[in-house]
Amino acid sequence: MVNNKQPDNRVGRRSLLSGAAAVAGGAALSTALPAGTAHAAPKPLAGAAGAGAAHVAATPGIIDIAPADPRFPDLVRGTNQRWVAAPEKVRLVTTTAQAETAVREAVTAGKRLTVRSGGHCYEDFVFNNQVQVVVDMSGMNQVYFDPAKNAFAIEAGASNLQVYETLYKLYGVTIPAGSCHSVGAGGHISGGGFGLLSRQLGLTVDYLHGVEVVVVKANGTVETVTATRDDTGDLQDLWWAHTGGGGGNFGLITRYWMRTPGATGTDPTKLLPKPPSEVFVHAVSLPWPDMNQRSFQTLVQNWGRWHEANSAPNSPYAGLFGLLKLNSNAGPRSAIGLLTQMDATIPNARTLLNDYLAAVTAGVGVTPQAMTVPMGEHAALPQLDEPRRLPWYIATDYLSGGNPTLYGKYKSAYARKGLSSFQVSALWKHLSNSAFTNPDALVQIDSYGCKINTVASDATAVPQRDSILKLQYQVYWTNPADEAKNLAWIRDFYKDMYAETGHVPVPNFTNDGCYVNYPDKDLGDPAFNTSQETWGSLYYKGNFTRLKKAKRTWDPTNFFRHAQSIPLQ
């Protein structure tokens, strides 16, 4: 974690990958299973029945944590400290049957229920003043090959790093999911999922074969349903709704099954893609004291032009993922960061990487400097001004840095082209503002496109399939008293960036809406969205209608709901 006492040229906060898809990583596996062997069924946590610390009578197998329990404060908040709930209890489940029971008992008692998988929701969708029961999925965290489905099962509470470690170490495969190691699968996959391998492999949901969901029927009956890519009718709609429709909408997700579409045979090592065995990792900083408006504009325009020219599906740069971390200029130690991961195994990889770095920094007139990269629990990786060739999993572990528990606000946008001159000027205006002195404020612009854009916009619930950049606006603070000024900064910034389209990124020649996994309640507030587009159309575009149909079919009583859940109509 980076604080205000960071050394010179340390880039941003939230470690190197702030916000690229979002604390403690998965532990090393104690045993290696031979290919094709499934893990044992999950076991209840120790003390599940009659645990002395639980102050609510628990349903057998479910651990109920009430307000008097010392664990309670840790279980009623996520990583964003703005959102803290006061439910009657938190219910930790370790099996699908327990999850179904927890939902059934909440329905019978008329209790408002929400679900936590990893705790990284940016808004108060899980932790709010209306929730009475929180179902915590962290005890359902198994990752294993399921011969019955001929696919890999990932339980909703598994973290990104647990998924990567199990899939790669046991089977040599992976999925192109997010970079932050503690993000939970339950919400991440259902919202689409992307990360440093996405230009090469696509979105996470492009590999979704099936999903297991606890649903509530119109008569209040609770049941567990499995829907797969191969189903038809309403079941196919339920599967499709989980390919980017967002979490907390249709039911309680207990597990996913992942498999490459069209994969054949039963050898698990061939049912998901293999990551590159080695990657180049490169990270430099451009000190703010050396920047002026011309150099800043040149850098951002170079970034956009390069991605316009190198984001086609067949691009030799499909194996390159870049992050441009436009941190605010909060003093002499502030810097803009440029991080790159590239497949080191493709022909001429080092030459391609060098050419990319030269193109992005051409004419900027600022000498890049090596930066000390904070990596959460891990040792820092200094001297990355020269690309470091690392084994893929080691690089993934290093680059999965923490998402520290702070107060924060986030916004997002997709871009089909490089940013317009109007938008680059807005970036400069707000990031160089000397009156705003928070060093923990930034816009991160991620590489997009390539393999992502080979999928039709309606084939999954993620409609943004011709963008080349994804933007995440971020601001953090540690003192609750600082909330108003930080919210004002990011809201004014975003309004100026999209002033030409009603203060939000309405899909047009340049913009393409917002990412549901970076939720922003402001999109539904006419004070901040003066366009004709609703939050639903900004997230889902033309897919919103089909998502509402799935909602009416699978959650007709609107039992699963939050401030931006899919509406019935």
The SS3 call for residue 474 is strand
Residue 372: predicted pLDDT: 54
The SS3 call for residue 319 is coil
Supply φ then ψ for residue 179, to 5 degrees.
-95, -30
Q: Which amino acid does the sequence have at 255? A: R
CA–CA separation, 317 vs 325, rounded Å?
20
As given in the structure block, the two tokens for residue 56 are: 């609510």
472 and 443 in contact (C-beta within 8 Å)? yes
CA–CA separation, 556 vs 70, rounded Å?
37
479 and 3 in contact (C-beta within 8 Å)? no
Supply φ then ψ for residue 79, to 5 degrees.
-75, -25
Residue 402: predicted pLDDT: 61
Q: What is the mean pLDDT of each run of 10 residues along the chain (569 residues)?
A: 31 33 28 30 33 47 97 95 97 98 98 96 97 98 98 98 98 96 96 97 98 98 98 98 97 98 97 98 93 97 98 97 95 90 97 97 91 40 73 89 80 98 98 93 97 98 98 96 97 98 97 98 98 98 98 98 97
Residue 30: CB atoms within 10 A of its CB come to: 5
Burial 308-329 (b: 16+ CB within 10 A, else e): bebbeeebebbbbbbbbbbbbb
Residue 14: predicted pLDDT: 35
CA dist list (Å): 397 to 57, 181, 501: 40, 8, 39
403 and 22 in contact (C-beta within 8 Å)? yes
As given in the structure block, the two tokens for residue 330 are: 């909060």
- Which among 159, 151, 184 is positioned nearest to 264, based on CA atoms? 151
Residue 290: CB atoms within 10 A of its CB come to: 14
Element spanning 549, H or E:
helix 544-554
CA–CA separation, 194 vs 199, rounded Å?
9
Residue 386: predicted pLDDT: 83
Element spanning 186, H or E:
helix 185-190
Residue 369: predicted pLDDT: 84
Q: What residues contact 267, with CB distance under 8 A and at least 6 apart?
A: 35, 36
Supply φ then ψ for residue 69, to 5 degrees.
-75, 135
Task: Examine domains 60-275 and 278-533 and report if their fold is the same.
Answer: no
Positive or negative, the Cα torsion across 12, 125, 550, 184? Answer: positive
CATH topology of domain 60-275: 3.30.465
Residue 13: CB atoms within 10 A of its CB come to: 24
As given in the structure block, the two tokens for residue 199 are: 């230009």
The SS3 call for residue 424 is helix
**278-533 sits in which CATH class?**
alpha beta
- Which among 143, 209, 144, 203 is positioned nearest to 178, based on CA atoms? 203
- Which among 336, 337, 338 is positioned nearest to 320, based on CA atoms? 338
Q: What residues contact 292, with CB distance under 8 A and at least 6 apart?
A: none
* Residue ranges of domains in the chain: 60-275, 278-533
What is the torsion angle, in degrees rounded to the nearest 10, for the CA atoms of residue 192, residue 197, residue 199 and residue 201? -80
DSSP per-residue letters across 225-285: EEEETT--HHHHHHHHHTTTS-SSSSSEEEEEEE--TT--SS-GGGSSPPPPSEEEEEEEE
pLDDT digits (tens, 9 = 90+) for 183-192: 999 999 999 9
Residue 58: predicted pLDDT: 62
446 and 469 in contact (C-beta within 8 Å)? yes
- Which among 569, 509, 508, 559 is positioned nearest to 536, based on CA atoms? 569
411 and 529 in contact (C-beta within 8 Å)? no
Positive or negative, the Cα torsion across 80, 85, 90, 95? Answer: negative
